[in-house]
Each structure stands twice: as C-alpha cells, then as structure tokens.
Structure 1
Amino acid sequence: MECAAKGSRTPCCGPPTRRCERCRAVAYCSLSHQVSHRSVHKLECERLEQQMKRADSLNDFPFTFTEEATEIQQSRCSFLTRHGIHRLGMWMCECSCGATSVSFGNSRLIDGWNLPSELCPCKAPSSPMPRRLSTWKDYYEWREIPLYSPAALLLHWPLTIYWAIQLAILENLVPEISNELRIHYLGPEKELLQLAVFGELQALFPGVKLHIDLVGPAIPYHRDGERIDLYAYAKCNQMDCHCKHSFGNHTERVTTCHSGAITLRLHRGCYHDCYKELLKDSSPHIIIAPNAGIAAYTSWLPTLELINEINVPAMFSDYCEEASHLAASCISSAAGTAPKIQIQINPFRQPLCVEEGALNLPCYSNCFLFGF
C-alpha cells in the first residue's frame, strides 16, 4: 500500500500509516499529505467506504486454506512454499520473486501441475457437468478435487472465461453455445506461462471447439503468430497416472493439419492494431479482457472505440471494485452507454489476495466482472 497523496508537491516522509478514519481504504505518510489530499479524497471516500463493507463477501471462499490466503499481510511466497509449488513450472510467476526471473519468451508449453493427481484435474471429468457451475465448491465437487488443493490459483483463468460467457448468455449478449466458440482474449501476461490450464475448457465446454486469439503487447516478438492446439489436460506429477497415456503429445503446432479441442493463437500488439489481421480468420463471438486496468492505461482508448464500433460483446475483469468502477466509467465515456452487465463479484476469482495494492481494498485476480 502506498501514500494516497504520493506524487504531490512534497515527497512522502515515510510509510503510509495514517488511515482515513471513515473509509479505511486509503492511508497517508503524514498529516500534511492527508490534509493536502482531502479535497480529492472526499469525492471517493463514501464510495470506498461502501466497498470496504463488502470485504467479507470478497474473502468468502470454501477452501481449507482460505484464512491464510486472504490475509493481506500473508506472503504469496510463503503460501506457495507451504503447498510445495513455490517457483515451480506454471506457478513460477504467482509470486514477486518468481515473476522477476520469468521470461515469457519460452515457447515450450509448461504442461504440468506439479501436484499429485488427486489435487488437480489432469483427466476428463468422471461425470457430466451440472447445468451451470456457480461456485468454487460446485466445481471442486464435480471435478472430485479436495478443498485443500491450491489448483484454483491457476484454474481461475479458464473458470473466469466460463463464467463470463455464462453471464453473456444470460443477458442475451451471445447465443447459447453449440459446436464452436471464438474468443478474442486481450492483455495476457502471466497466462503465457500457464496456457496448459486452458485445457480445462474442454471439460467446461464439452463438445465445443474453442478458438482463442490471445492479443497483447506482453507477447514476445518471436511468438507472434504462434499456434498451440491443446489435446489434453495439464498433467499431474505422478508417472503412473492415466494422464500420461492420453493423446501422445500435449500440443500440436501449426505445421500439422490437425485441430485441437482448444486452439490458442498468440498475437503481439494492441487489439486495435491487430484486429484487421484477426478478422481474416473469422469474427469473434465475444471479447474477454481479464484484469484489464482500463483506467490505468491510455492505450485502451482506441481499443474501446474499436469494440464499440464493431459491436461485439465484451467482458472485462479487474482486481478490485474501485478499479472496475473507474474502468466502467471510462468505457461508458468511450461507448456512450452504461454496462449491460453490471459490476459484480466473480465467483471464480483467484482465491489468493494480491499483496501490494494502492488501496487497502481486498484485491484478487479477476475479482470483479462487468460487460458491454
């Protein structure tokens, strides 16, 4: 957390220890900074106060590790270490010390959970999916995973896609899915090292061929245009598990004529620069932008204008309610319309709090969803 008046005329004189007594969401390094920021903060204080009152709802998860995972003072490194997955494979960029040594340039798919088979969905489900999954508990019971498994820390990516599409269907923004679904997925970063978990979409959308174009500036130049066809689920770490004997290779590259159940294609650049090239294949059914940070980056403006122009349903997520509120305001200004899907808690948000935020609000990856 940082001083809410950071960047003002005078430099901060220490750590932000003075909390606003009303909202408790912002803090200051000194009384002078608090006084100088008062005219700005009074416009947001009541809104932040209401958001803080919803903290218990945001911290409500069914997992046995929930208490340690939702404690803001809890280190992500220590949490991952206790679960034996610190800086391993797909878990590498889930903490700050791992993220600093990560390179998204590796084109080799990391396809293992580094977990035993009973703790991860490494095989197809043993029973048909219920009509609609709406909680982590529903999902874990269906996939027969115990509630002490940390797999949800990575599964929030495919489950957020699943829930975003369910919301869009409920609001009649997209039709019921039949045999094909095309998604433009904007702004991937750490997902580039966790692409194997997208294989879980085979279970979430049975019988549907998914084509996902991942578009963003974090994609390395040499991976621009890369295609990955997922034929299997991410594997467990047990050598005798059935998942090791599924389809020979986890992926097939674009050099073959096969088409996987899940086809991923990487595109480097901003969406408004790549869109015409993407259209050569086909137009999307839906656009999904996870942890978008729209209010923080001016580069979003031409993309928002494009999305409004092409009239394709778009779902966004962000880390906290305030970021979502600011993002929705930006989108409304660019599109001239209010959200069709109001800001709401994502039941499949990542159940591990974000360590460092500008506000004291509870923050989780893919925490809130809204759509236009």
Structure 2
Amino acid sequence: MDSLSSLASLTPEQFFGGVTKAGKALAAAEKKGNVPKTKNFDFSVQETCCVCQKNITPPLKVLRCSACRAPIYCGRECATKHWKYPPPQPPGSIPGPTHKELCPANKRHMERREYYDGVLQSFPWGRLESDATFSFDIARGRFGVFGGTGTGYWSHRGGPIPHSNRGVMESMLASSPYGATIMKAFAAFDHTDGADLLGTRHLTDVQGWKLEPVLIPYLNFPSADKRPALLKSTLDSWDEWYQWRKLSQESPAALLMSFPMTVYRLLVHCLEVTGPTQASANQRRALSVHLLGAEVELNYLPLFAELALLLPYLLPYHDIQLVVFGSGAETLIKAAKKKPSSLVAKSSLTTPVYE
C-alpha cells in the first residue's frame, strides 16, 4: 500500500521536474566527459514478463525466445504458454496474437536492431541505457521540454498512464479497492491533447518548440538563411533531413518530427501514392491521409505541415488533407464548444484547423 500512497501523492511537478533534473544532470556529466556508472545515471526500464507481468529481479533471470530474441519471459512456463496462447487481456478487450504468429516478424525487426541503434546514437542525445533501451523522457528532460499542459508541441499527459483513453481499464479500476487512489493519481495529470488549439492563434515556432532558436526547424522562416532549399528528390535519412533543414544533430527535433516523417515515408516510399511525376496541371490529384487513434499528435498538429516542404511538387497539382480520428479529437471538439472563438471551434470540413 506504500507504493499506492506514493502514486496518489505524486504531483506533475515532482514527476516532470524529477525527470528534467535527471536529464539535465546527465547532459552536464556528458559535457564534462564523466558519466558516473551509478543507478542515478542508469535509466533502464524494469524488465517485466510479457505474459504474467511479473517484475524479473534476482534470483530470476530473463529468458528470451531463442529464435527472435524479442519477448521477455520470467521462465519457461510463460514462454511455452505465449507460444500457443496470447497473453492475458483485460475483460472486454480483443485477444492479441500468439508469439508463434509474431515470431517471424519479430526476428526480421531484431535483425535490424544494430542499424537502428546506430541511427539513434548518431544524435548526441541518443543514449542507449545498460539494457539497450532509449529513454524518450530523459531525452526531453535534457532540453527542459518534458512536461504537461503549457509545454508547447511537447505537451502530453504523462504520469502513471499517459493515455487519455483508458479503455477497459476504467471499468476495472471502478471495481478495485485501490481504484479511487489510482484515479486520483490520474486526475492530477489531466491534460487535453491539442489544448493549444483551443486558443485563437496558433503557437509560433518558438512558442511551440521551446528550444534555442538554432535548434528549431522553422515553418515560418524568420530569415532567408533559415529557409530550406527546394527539394527536387526524396529524403532517405535523418542525416539528409538535418542537412536540408540546416540543423545540427544536437537538435532534438527528430523526437517529434518522426511522426510527420513517418507519414512522408508511407506516402512516398511504402505506398508510393505520390511522387514528382504522378500529377499534372490537367489532372489534379487529391490525397486524404487518415490519422487513426490520435492523442498526443494533436499537441503538435502544425508540424505535419512539414509535408508541404518535403513534397514541394504537391503544391501545384495535388490537394493533400490530413484527417484526424480518435477519442482525443472528440474530446477536443467538445471542449471547443465552450470556446467559440477558438481555432477548433472555427474549423469545419472546408476550413481546416491548420493550413
């Protein structure tokens, strides 16, 4: 019960402030070239069995699938069970796949792990922990942009459960003797995804990114030297994007830009639904991109305008539309009814919230 009491008394200031303090301390130690090998500077995650959810601590040892090396188990019993059956799910949820079904895909992904680790470590802030994980929270803490409402594009719920839609967990907690305690902790971290869109003006680049000017990929260019060159070919790596955007890789912009860049790669490289020669003045092409289950994406919706820079050939002959679906969007629209002058309230099918 002590841990539950600690959870209930945890404040956003303690949570966000503690991680930010740790991130800045790590950055300062790295700058001096001396990062102590202590628990204070190891942000590994607690290894947990993917079947029974038991924390794996000594004398237990981690057991992995010998074929794909992906899932973590507390022992052979759970590993055998997962091969034949999906992990236990909360009442009312859809059963997931078995490990037998996932193993081949997991193996293909794990074979590329070294490559992805290399991409991450090409950034000064891309640190791998002792368990080979990367702490997204600590990375944001380094730059003082780990926070809830009011942290610009970085705003998010945070806390014990960072999702606004708790699904079947809501009903499970209602019947739990500790439900009220846990719900109290959730309430302390309340945040409306897309809250800045309830204002009457969009955030400026500086207000949204909350970084030093030299680290910001501007959309509204303060000077000609900040404007990227007109692209005549596709970009294939983060190195190319940073060079094109005239940014040092010290910038943590990739932490958020990975979302619009994923849409870019889907359109151009995976689905191949657009390209420099796929439309003309006589044959305009409409592209409608559906973003399903959006939550945190609503906080940095303007960043998807990067597509207009990445796909300059879209502008003359294409009409591209990003349509957002999800409970987060529904919550935002309901909140906008109380703010008729807000950006969201003034949007419609013909007037997008951002263009």
- TM-score range (shorter-chain normalised) is 0.5 to 0.7
Q: CA deviation at 1:93?
A: 2.4
Q: Structure 1 residues 251 and 51, CA, compared in 2 at 3 Å: closer, same or farther?
A: same
| Residues 268 and 274, structure 2, Cα contact 8 Å, conserved in 1 | no
Which is strand-richer, 1 or 2? Answer: 1
Looking at structure 1, the residues matched to 300 and 125 of structure 2 have their Cα atoms a distance apart, in angstroms, of: 22
Q: Structure 1 residues 26 and 127, CA, compared in 2 at 3 Å: closer, same or farther?
A: closer
TM-score by length of 2: 0.54
State the match for 1:83 in structure 2. 143
Q: Structure 1 residues 76 and 221, CA, compared in 2 at 3 Å: closer, same or farther?
A: closer
State the match for 1:219 in structure 2. 329
Q: Structure 1 residues 36 and 134, CA, compared in 2 at 3 Å: closer, same or farther?
A: closer
CA deviations over 1:292-335 (Å, ceiling 9, x no partner): xxxxxxxxxxxxxxxxxxxxxxxxxxxxxxxxxxxxxxxxxxxx
Matches within 5 A, 1:351-362: none
Q: Structure 1 residues 69 and 85, CA, compared in 2 at 3 Å: closer, same or farther?
A: farther
Letter in 2 for 1:63: F
Q: Select 1:24's aligned residue among 66, 69, 83.
A: 69
User: Structure 1 residue 147 and structure 2 residue 237: aligned?
Assistant: no
| Residues 295 and 329, structure 2, Cα contact 8 Å, conserved in 1 | yes
Letter in 2 for 1:146: S
State the match for 1:33 in structure 2. 78
Q: CA deviation at 1:140?
A: 1.1
TM-score by length of 1: 0.51
Q: Select 1:198's aligned residue among 304, 324, 334.
A: 304
Looking at structure 2, the residues matched to 58 and 170 of structure 1 have their Cα atoms a distance apart, in angstroms, of: 23
Looking at structure 1, the residues matched to 212 and 73 of structure 2 have their Cα atoms a distance apart, in angstroms, of: 45
Looking at structure 2, the residues matched to 168 and 47 of structure 1 have their Cα atoms a distance apart, in angstroms, of: 17
Letter in 1 for 2:306: E
Q: CA deviation at 1:223?
A: 0.7
Which has the bigger relative contact order, CA under 8 A and spacing at least 6?
A: 1
Letter in 1 for 2:191: V
| Residues 105 and 220, structure 1, Cα contact 8 Å, conserved in 2 | no
| Residues 210 and 262, structure 1, Cα contact 8 Å, conserved in 2 | no
Q: CA deviation at 1:25?
A: 1.7
Looking at structure 1, the residues matched to 84 and 289 of structure 2 have their Cα atoms a distance apart, in angstroms, of: 43
Letter in 1 for 2:106: L
Q: Structure 1 residues 118 and 174, CA, compared in 2 at 3 Å: closer, same or farther?
A: closer
Q: CA deviation at 1:133?
A: 1.1
The 3-state SS of whatever aligns with 2:290 is strand
Looking at structure 2, the residues matched to 172 and 258 of structure 1 have their Cα atoms a distance apart, in angstroms, of: 23
The 3-state SS of whatever aligns with 1:59 is helix
Q: CA deviation at 1:63?
A: 2.4
| Residues 17 and 27, structure 1, Cα contact 8 Å, conserved in 2 | no
State the match for 1:64 in structure 2. 124
The 3-state SS of whatever aligns with 2:123 is coil
Looking at structure 2, the residues matched to 128 and 193 of structure 1 have their Cα atoms a distance apart, in angstroms, of: 27
Letter in 2 for 1:189: E
The 3-state SS of whatever aligns with 1:184 is strand
Q: Select 1:118's aligned residue among 198, 210, 214.
A: 214
The 3-state SS of whatever aligns with 1:51 is helix
Structure 1: runs of 5+ lacking an equivalent: 227-249, 264-372
| Residues 110 and 194, structure 1, Cα contact 8 Å, conserved in 2 | no
Q: CA deviation at 1:168?
A: 5.6
Q: CA deviation at 1:43?
A: 6.0
Q: Select 1:104's aligned residue among 190, 193, 200.
A: 193
State the match for 1:127 in structure 2. 229
| Residues 105 and 223, structure 1, Cα contact 8 Å, conserved in 2 | no
Looking at structure 2, the residues matched to 168 and 63 of structure 1 have their Cα atoms a distance apart, in angstroms, of: 25
Looking at structure 2, the residues matched to 256 and 46 of structure 1 have their Cα atoms a distance apart, in angstroms, of: 44
Q: Select 1:185's aligned residue among 291, 294, 298.
A: 291
Matches within 5 A, 1:300-319: none
CA deviations over 1:104-159 (Å, ceiling 9, x no partner): 26223555110122212213534211411111111111111111110011112221
The 3-state SS of whatever aligns with 2:265 is helix
Letter in 1 for 2:111: K
Range that drifts further, 42-51 or 75-84 = 42-51
Q: Structure 1 residues 211 and 144, CA, compared in 2 at 3 Å: closer, same or farther?
A: same
Looking at structure 2, the residues matched to 220 and 128 of structure 1 have their Cα atoms a distance apart, in angstroms, of: 37
| Residues 13 and 30, structure 1, Cα contact 8 Å, conserved in 2 | no
Looking at structure 2, the residues matched to 130 and 174 of structure 1 have their Cα atoms a distance apart, in angstroms, of: 8
Looking at structure 1, the residues matched to 276 and 126 of structure 2 have their Cα atoms a distance apart, in angstroms, of: 34
Q: CA deviation at 1:163?
A: 1.6
State the match for 1:355 in structure 2. none
Q: Select 2:109's aligned residue among 31, 51, 54.
A: 51
State the match for 1:349 in structure 2. none
State the match for 1:337 in structure 2. none
Q: CA deviation at 1:167?
A: 2.7
Looking at structure 2, the residues matched to 13 and 149 of structure 1 have their Cα atoms a distance apart, in angstroms, of: 35
